[in-house]
Amino acid sequence: MMEALLPALVLLPFMGFIVSLIIPRKSDLLLSRTSFVTAGVQLMAVVLFTSAWLFSGHVPVNVKEVVVYRSAGYEFFLDLYFDKVTAVYLTMGALLTFLITIYSRYYLHREEGFKRFFNTILFFISGYSLTVMSGNLETLFIGWEILGVSSFLLIAYYRDRYLPVKNAVKVFSIYRLGDIGLILAMWMSHHLWHENITFLKLNNYDLVHERLMEHSLVGVFISLMILVTAAAKSAQLPFSSWLPRAMEGPTPSSAIFYGSLSVHIGVFLLLRTFPFWEHQVSVRIAIALLGLCTSIVSTLTARVQSSVKAKIAYSSIAQIGLIFIEVAAGLDWLALFHFAGNAFLRTYQLLVSPSVVTYLIREQFFHFTPREHSFEDTWPKRLEYSLYVLSLKEWNLDAFMYRWLWNPVKAMGRNLDQFTIRRMLLVFVPLYALGVVALYAQDRLPGALNTVLPMVSALIALIMVLRAFTERHHVRRALLMIIMGHFWVALAVSFNEHFDIMHSLLYLSGVVVAGVVAYACILWLRRTEKQVNLRRFHGHVFEHPRLALVFLLSCLGMAGFPITTSFVGEDLIFTHIHPHQIVLAGLVSLCFVIDGLALIRLYARVFLGPHVKTYHEVAYRSS
């Protein structure tokens, strides 16, 4: 009975999302009531299910729901799992979403993006429910990607402004970095278990211990990739600076995303995979040290913030750092209570922050008296002033990310400016044809050449997506390079071993269909608009909202959004990369990550931001 009811907890918010899509934009009352009823029914269903689960002995429930794709040695299936971690996260998610929908009905009344906000919130809670109820890494990754796209859309809610759009792209780029860790963890996990392992099986101590005794380094690699993913999603060092930038969205979305639910998903990932790395002492020490350093740095930074949202954001990061320490220490119940308390507190603080700021400003005019002493006064002055300046600069975390990550990537892309689309077609298309011929004559090639060809093909794919990512002029050129990059990835893995060509066709079919639709959208837009390039934000969504939606869906399809054929194909591709081929796996995962960033950048530059036509109202550059 419990197994039959479990899928309904995911389907309920998704059905509400589908209904909200067909409600007319002008029907504010109907739209808000639909969201309110959906959140209320979801909360009631979660409470009733959790109560029944507790009274029936609170035994973990696992449901293998849908087999999406099956082939020899591979099975992609959706799996749902319910235990105490799911119960706490799902209950908190349903309760806070219910409160936010009530608040937003009045807070966002008469806002131009009223319908868009509630569509995105219902889409978010569908992805959140799927994430916390996931029974394997593949199912978790589907919900994980939905959360990332929802975050991007809500940060860029004020899509006619410069900073919200820019910060949305910045936050999405950090999320894509986290995706690298999850992709590599899934890849190595396939080779460690030789199956799509479920979280239920990970609770089998004997099975996990026996496998890790034989492959201890593989276990450490998977655990570290999980830690990187969790740190990126939960804004731990060195990724902490994205959370205050994410507060550009409306206050209700800041409360539900970056104060309570989405920012704690990294903690959920650590709790869910705890049985896997529980006996890896080095990993537990790394998690605890990361949490401790983040808590110290974020606490100091929060004390000097002039923006109330930034102060709350850094305070939340500090608490999540402490939760990381609790998880590393094995105090799972304490971590769950801490998550619930921090989520409630930050939601409340963010929702009342506009009023509190008003009251404090009024209070300062009449009753403000500065504190004479603080605990920092006991420190040496040189240390106190140094920490103050570092905290004001947010420990240069943004500069660190730009200097050591984004600037090198952009520099590599700019060095490829000589590769115009004409030269690309003249050089790489014949090379690709030669590669296909070599693939079918692979048995006759020298063994050393067979070893090098996958790396060379993956490197060419990386060159393609890097060039697309740094393209500053032509949208169609960037789209073609992204599509060509996918073809080179498929060729690289095809060289790696003989496998069913249907796997490559499944992967490339989604890419080609989405790519053709995106290219057609740009062609249609160029017929009606004079300026369609990547030099600036153009804001064409204002006059072409339906076209913008189709282009966004096409970009997500090329980026492997769940559960398109390209998403399933990407998972299939990684199963054919051998465990010792770390470099090849790194190149392919970098291709997927930069490919996603390039596509979101295309969408943001063409359709979001201040409108290029000056007869439309244009927001100030600074919000």
pLDDT digits (tens, 9 = 90+) for 75-84: 777 888 998 9
Residue 294 has pLDDT above 80, yes or no: yes
- Total structural domains within the chain: 2
Query: At 219, which helix (H) or strand (E)?
Result: helix 216-233
pLDDT at 225: 92
Cα separation, 255 vs 249, whole angstroms: 10
Asked whether residue 488 falls in the same domain as residue 559, the answer is yes
pLDDT above 90 covers a percentage of the chain that reads: 22
Give strand pairing partners of 63: 80
pLDDT at 420: 67
pLDDT at 391: 83
8 A C-beta contact, residue 350 and residue 312: yes
16 versus 110: the higher-pLDDT residue is: 16
Residue 359 has pLDDT above 90, yes or no: no
Q: Grade residue 159 by pLDDT with cuts at 50, 70 and 90.
A: confident
Asked whether residue 179 falls in the same domain as residue 280, the answer is yes
Contacts (Cβ under 8 Å, ≥6 apart) of 346:
255, 259, 260, 312, 315, 316
User: What domain range is 533 assigned to?
Assistant: 415-607
Quick check: is 193 in a domain? yes
Asked whether residue 603 falls in the same domain as residue 475, the answer is yes
Asked whether residue 420 falls in the same domain as residue 291, the answer is no
Asked whether residue 358 falls in the same domain as residue 462, the answer is no
pLDDT digits (tens, 9 = 90+) for 216-229: 888 899 999 999 99
- ω into residue 238 within 30 of 0, thus cis? yes
8 A C-beta contact, residue 598 and residue 478: yes
8 A C-beta contact, residue 16 and residue 38: yes
Asked whether residue 173 falls in the same domain as residue 313, the answer is yes
8 A C-beta contact, residue 80 and residue 71: no
pLDDT at 230: 93
DSSP type of residue 437: H
pLDDT digits (tens, 9 = 90+) for 185-214: 888 888 888 777 888 888 888 888 888 888
Cα separation, 578 vs 584, whole angstroms: 9
Q: What is the average pLDDT value for the chain, to the nearest integer?
A: 84
Instruction: Note if the pTM is more than 0.85.
Output: yes
Residue 623 has pLDDT above 60, yes or no: no
Asked whether residue 353 falls in the same domain as residue 422, the answer is no
Cα separation, 30 vs 38, whole angstroms: 12
Asked whether residue 324 falls in the same domain as residue 469, the answer is no
Which of 413, 403, 401, 520 is CA-nearest to residue 465? 413
491 versus 341: the higher-pLDDT residue is: 341
User: Range with the lowest mean pLDDT among 42-51, 424-433, 480-489?
Assistant: 424-433
Quick check: is 61 in a domain? yes
Asked whether residue 334 falls in the same domain as residue 438, the answer is no
pLDDT at 338: 93
Q: Grade residue 621 by pLDDT with cuts at 50, 70 and 90.
A: low
Mean pLDDT of 523-545: 86
Residue 622 has pLDDT above 60, yes or no: no
Quick check: is 410 in a domain? no
Quick check: is 505 in a domain? yes
8 A C-beta contact, residue 465 and residue 481: yes
Compute CA distances 175 → 140, 163, 212, 405, 610, whole Å: 14, 18, 29, 14, 25
Asked whether residue 358 falls in the same domain as residue 497, the answer is no
Asked whether residue 182 falls in the same domain as residue 302, the answer is yes
Quick check: is 112 in a domain? yes
For residue 574, how many C-alpha atoms fall within 13 Å in the half-sphere facing its CB? 30
User: Range with the lowest mean pLDDT among 370-379, 401-410, 503-512, 592-601?
Assistant: 370-379
Quick check: is 544 in a domain? yes
Residue 589 has pLDDT above 90, yes or no: no
Quick check: is 87 in a domain? yes
3-state secondary structure of 37: helix
Mean pLDDT of 365-380: 70
Cα separation, 35 vs 372, whole angstroms: 49
Burial class of residue 452 (count of CB atoms within 10 Å of its CB; 0-12, 13-18, 19+): exposed
Quick check: is 262 in a domain? yes
Asked whether residue 295 falls in the same domain as residue 228, the answer is yes
Which of 537, 414, 419, 560 is CA-nearest to residue 480? 419
pLDDT at 591: 87
- HEC profile for 59-79? CCEEEEEEEEEEECCEEEEEE
